[in-house]
Amino acid sequence: MCEANAYLVRDGKEELLLEAVDILENEDHQVRIANIFGEQKVVRGRIKSMSLVNHKILLEE
């Protein structure tokens, strides 16, 4: 499986937003993430980094 976990970086700490993310879309100044279970979240911010080998997506406000 290639899903990754999405984290929001706040004050240098990573806060888990959503597990098993398979969709990541930029929408203006927001990022929409959705996982394989149908859960979705919209975060005001941008993609900081992605490591698909480590199954990790970092977002920042």
pLDDT in tens, 7-37: 999 999 999 999 999 999 998 899 999 999 9
Residue bearing the bigger pLDDT, 19 or 3: 19
Closest CA to 5 of 16, 13, 37: 16
Asked if 5 contacts 55 with a C-beta cutoff of 8 angstroms, the reply is yes
pTM, full prediction: 0.90
Closest CA to 3 of 46, 47, 35, 26: 35
Closest CA to 43 of 2, 6, 4: 6
Structure tokens at 44: 């005001």
Asked if 35 contacts 3 with a C-beta cutoff of 8 angstroms, the reply is yes
**pLDDT for position 3:** 86
**pLDDT for position 1:** 62
